[in-house]
């Protein structure tokens, strides 16, 4: 009896030690979420502390369905360290604090000129992209056209997604979809719990219909197709579904095959899956800030693998130029935000971004957690920092 009790105590102690070790082995951000779980599944309504923890741990959380975007360990990392950028460290620190930046990487001529981290994040962790993923998805559309999976941007959405037949998207072209000029009504208000962007991921689809198609085909028309720009994450998710049906494989696999395994990224990435088990075309690629910057450099260099572009010859020019105006100085291309000075950006809510300036051979990748999903105040702080980097590079050249 005593031996049995002693053995039970030994086993119990061993289990306790194992569980403690397992708990302590978890990343601090994951432990925080376990102890402080969000009461709302919608990330738009998490607390700031939950977002700080969640944005850097989505890649490791087993409860979040996702597909791996495989890198290639046999290809050495593209990025090398360069000379430090001539910026005041106090100003850099102020930018990091003001915009709650978690990761910042500045590439000039393909080399790292500035790299800094905060909020418990570092170069080995992966941060979620939100709508930065849109620019990845549109690039894959270009690749699918080059590969012959998609005939033309003038093809209709319902040519590829048959469940959209009879909806307002029946006569919308792929080009209108990727420039967000479909004219179909959509509410992208991140603070409104009843907006489309808040509700669509929680929509219960009809049997046999993909969840995003089920939601989008109910929407009414607001304007004639091709006449007005209106930002819609739902439409990029529809782009993702269209692409998946055209290539007949997961988007993560196609992204790995065409780009990620060939451009010298440092790590695997991941892509969150939607309710129907497909990658969410408009959101949620998890990667390191360095690897987001590497993608920006790849695109800046002409989206070339072994000297040949993976997209049609005129794709990058059209993708990064103003296909439709958003205001006097900015426009929207193929899921890239454009500026009159020739620079362009991938943008995601809460402060994610890839800024590309071809004139200066400059790429800036930023990951962060603004206090709100979107604010012109924080966007302006980002733009001011980008401008400060541009000025610093111009001074180096004596301009």
Q: Is residue 200 part of a domain?
A: yes
Check residue 18 and give its pLDDT: 41
Sign, CA torsion 37/348/88/299: positive
Average pLDDT for the chain:
91
Query: Starting from the edge strand earliest in sequence, which strands make up the sheet with 352-357, in order?
Result: 80-81, 111-117, 101-108, 362-368, 352-357, 344-348, 337-339, 330-332, 324-325
Residue 18: inside a domain: no
* Number of folded domains that form the chain: 1
| DSSP H stretches of helix in 248-350 | 251-255, 289-300, 315-319
Helix%, strand%, coil% for the chain, nearest 5: 40, 15, 45
Find the domain containing 174 and state its range: 67-396
Structural domain includes residue 51: no
10, part of any domain: no
Q: What is the CATH number of the domain that holds 307?
A: 3.40.710.10
Strands 304-305 and 362-368: unpaired
Q: Does 286 fall in a domain?
A: yes
Q: Identify whether 277 is part of a domain.
A: yes
Which stretches of the chain are DSSP H helices?
A: 2-25, 28-35, 48-55, 89-98, 132-147, 174-178, 196-199, 211-216, 233-247, 251-255, 289-300, 315-319, 376-396
pLDDT of 2 reads 43
Whether the per-residue pLDDT at 11 is higher than 70: the answer is: no
30 lies in some domain: no
Q: Is the pLDDT of residue 119 over 80?
A: yes
Q: Is residue 49 part of a domain?
A: no
Residue 21, pLDDT > 70, answer no
Question: In terms of pTM, does the model score above 0.85?
Answer: yes
């Amino acid at each position: 009896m005593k031996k049995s009790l002693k053995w039970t105590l030994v086993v119990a102690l061993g289990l306790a030690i194992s569980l403690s070790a397992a708990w302590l082995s978890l990343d601090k951000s994951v432990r925080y979420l376990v102890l402080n779980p969000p009461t709302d599944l919608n990330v738009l309504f998490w607390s700031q502390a939950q977002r700080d923890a969640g944005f850097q741990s989505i890649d490791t959380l087993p409860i979040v369905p996702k597909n791996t975007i495989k890198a290639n360990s046999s290809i050495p990392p593209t990025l090398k360290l360069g000379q430090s950028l001539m910026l005041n460290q106090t100003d850099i620190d102020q930018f990091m604090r003001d915009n709650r930046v978690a990761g910042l990487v500045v590439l000039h001529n393909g080399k790292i000129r500035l790299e800094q981290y905060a909020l418990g994040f570092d170069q080995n962790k992966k941060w979620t992209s939100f709508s930065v993923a849109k620019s990845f998805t549109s690039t894959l559309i270009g690749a699918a056209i080059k590969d012959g999976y998609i005939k033309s941007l003038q093809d209709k959405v319902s040519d590829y997604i048959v469940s959209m037949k009879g909806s307002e998207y029946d006569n919308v072209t792929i080009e209108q979809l990727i420039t967000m000029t479909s004219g179909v009504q959509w509410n992208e208000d991140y603070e409104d719990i009843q907006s489309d962007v808040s509700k669509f991921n929680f929509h219960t689809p009809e049997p046999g219909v993909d969840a995003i198609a089920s939601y989008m085909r109910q929407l009414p028309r607001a304007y004639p197709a091709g006449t007005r720009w209106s930002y819609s994450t739902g439409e990029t998710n529809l782009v993702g579904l269209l692409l998946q049906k055209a290539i007949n494989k997961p988007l993560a696999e196609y992204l790995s095959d065409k780009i990620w395994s060939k451009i010298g990224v440092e790590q695997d990435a991941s892509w969150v899956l939607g309710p129907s088990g497909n990658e969410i075309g408009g959101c949620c690629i998890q990667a390191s800030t360095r690897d987001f910057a590497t993608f920006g450099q790849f695109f800046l260099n002409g989206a070339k693998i072994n000297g040949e572009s993976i997209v049609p010859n005129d794709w990058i020019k059209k993708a990064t130029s103003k296909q439709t105006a958003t205001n006097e100085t900015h426009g929207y291309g193929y899921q890239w935000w454009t500026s009159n000075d020739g620079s362009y950006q991938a943008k995601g809510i809460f402060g994610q971004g890839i800024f590309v300036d071809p004139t200066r051979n400059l790429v800036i990748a930023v990951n962060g957690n603004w206090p709100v999903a979107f604010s012109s105040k924080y966007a302006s702080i980002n733009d001011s920092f980008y401008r400060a980097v541009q000025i610093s590079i111009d001074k180096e050249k004596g301009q």
